[in-house]
Amino acid sequence: MELDLRKVRYFVAVAEHRNFSRAAEALHIAQPVLSRQIRALEHELKARLFDRDNRGTRLTPAGEALLEDARPLLQAADAARRRVRDVAAGRRTFTIGFAPGLIITPAVRELSRRHPDLSVEMSRTDWLDQSDAIREGRVDVGYLRLPADRHGLAVEPLLSEPRVVMLPADHRLAGKEAVTVADLAAEHLLQDPDDVPEWRDVALEPQEPGQAAPPLRTVEEKLEHIAAGNGVVVLPKSVAAFYTRPDITHVPVHDIAPSRVCLAWDASRRSPLIREYVEIVLEAARS
């Protein structure tokens, strides 16, 4: 059975809006048309995807299962369309996603040397979109800092590096050669505690019901909170070195797991350029 991508796109819109009227408005189609398309998809799959009652529209277990696969499927289709349009327009590009603190220049230069007609582009990513950038086709290959969502991705481990704690320059621990996670037990962590389970296990900070950390998306936002004395952040050493500023310092933390970096790409793609770039990076890492 072949899935109709248009119906799948309609399904995802309803799943995200939890409302047929709002989904139809977002899709710029009439609600009866949307309802017919969803019924046709359910008929093709022989499964009910939504429960609708006076409380609203909810995904069934079958709908939840489809949604998990539908988003990567649509992302891959959109990426394929972009690649085809680029080739048809005479553009031959290869885009690499990278995170701050990582030096990728030697591999980029080697790929460019081997393919002078290829436009090699670089796109900075962050922790929140590093995996999506690959699945959505915005980059052909990306450097991921783990942990990361690796669903649908092929990965090659590259390196690991120690992690440090970022502190205000006048902090009681500033200037020390190293600290332990126990030294940080009384600090407020400005990131997801699951990123630093060693801190989570010893933290003295009360975990009150409903208490939520501020929505800090970027490292720059975290640094402003650190400088203001609102908390600390544990980062890979190279990231800390990249974001040098006079009112913040960093100190190694001896007893937490190192940060791991891998190279990742869409597992469904069979691009010779991706394979070649991966080999270039791995050869450089071995030497």
Backbone phi, psi, residue 263, to 5°: -100, 135
Q: Whole domain around residue 237: which residue ranges? A: 163-206+214-257
- Looking at the structure, tell me whether residues 244 and 267 fall in a common domain: no
Look at residue 123 and tell me whether its pLDDT is greater than 80: yes
- Looking at the structure, tell me whether residues 181 and 244 fall in a common domain: yes
Structural domain includes residue 79 = no
- Looking at the structure, tell me whether residues 175 and 231 fall in a common domain: yes
- Output 235 or 53, whichever has higher pLDDT: 235
Which residues 6+ apart lie within 8 Å of 196 measured at CB?
181, 189, 234, 256
- Looking at the structure, tell me whether residues 151 and 264 fall in a common domain: yes
- What DSSP string describes the chain? ----HHHHHHHHHHHHHT-HHHHHHHHTS-HHHHHHHHHHHHHHHTS--EEEETTEEEE-HHHHHHHHHHHHHHHHHHHHHHHHHHHHTT--EEEEEE-TT---HHHHHHHHHH-TT-EEEEEE--TTTHHHHHHTTS-SEEEEESS---TTEEEEEEEEE-EEEEEETTSTTTT-S-B-GGGGTTSPBSS-GGG-HHHHHH--S---TT-------SHHHHHHHHHTTS-BEEEEHHHHHHT--TTEEEEEBTTSPPEEEEEEEETT---HHHHHHHHHHHHHHH-
- Looking at the structure, tell me whether residues 32 and 61 fall in a common domain: yes
- Looking at the structure, tell me whether residues 111 and 141 fall in a common domain: yes
Look at residue 1 and tell me whether its pLDDT is greater than 60: no
Structural domain includes residue 61 = yes
Q: How confident is the model at residue 287 (pLDDT cuts 50, 70, 90)?
A: confident
Structural domain includes residue 81 = no
Which residue from 9, 10, 5, 6 is spatially nearest to 20, judged by alpha carbons? 10
In which region does residue 56 sit, left (phi positive, over 0), alpha (psi from -120 to 50) or beta (all else)? left
**Number of domains within the chain:** 3
pLDDT 10s digits, 223-258: 999 999 999 999 999 999 999 899 999 999 999 999
Structural domain includes residue 82 = no
- Looking at the structure, tell me whether residues 179 and 251 fall in a common domain: yes
- Output 87 or 9, whichever has higher pLDDT: 9
Q: Is 6 exposed, middle or buried (0-12, 13-18, 19+ CB in 10 A)?
A: exposed
- Looking at the structure, tell me whether residues 253 and 185 fall in a common domain: yes
pLDDT 10s digits, 198-218: 998 898 876 544 444 555 678
Strand order across the 163-168 sheet:
233-236, 163-168, 248-252
Look at residue 274 and tell me whether its pLDDT is greater than 90: yes
Give the global pTM: 0.66
Structural domain includes residue 83 = no
- Looking at the structure, tell me whether residues 270 and 248 fall in a common domain: no
Structural domain includes residue 153 = yes
Structural domain includes residue 24 = yes
Mean pLDDT over each residue of the chain, to the nearest integer:
88
Q: What is the arithmetic mean of pLDDT over 16-41?
A: 91
pLDDT of residue 212: 46
- Looking at the structure, tell me whether residues 172 and 239 fall in a common domain: yes
- Looking at the structure, tell me whether residues 126 and 136 fall in a common domain: yes
- Looking at the structure, tell me whether residues 269 and 193 fall in a common domain: no
CATH number at residue 57: 1.10.10.10
Spatial separation of the C-alpha atoms in residues 216 and 220, rounded to whole Å: 9
Structural domain includes residue 230 = yes
CATH number at residue 116: 3.40.190.10
- Output 210 or 100, whichever has higher pLDDT: 100
Q: How confident is the model at residue 85 (pLDDT cuts 50, 70, 90)?
A: confident
In which region does residue 79 sit, left (phi positive, over 0), alpha (psi from -120 to 50) or beta (all else)? alpha
What is the share, in percent, of the chain residues with pLDDT greater than 90?
54
pLDDT of residue 89: 66
Q: What is the arithmetic mean of pLDDT over 129-142?
A: 89
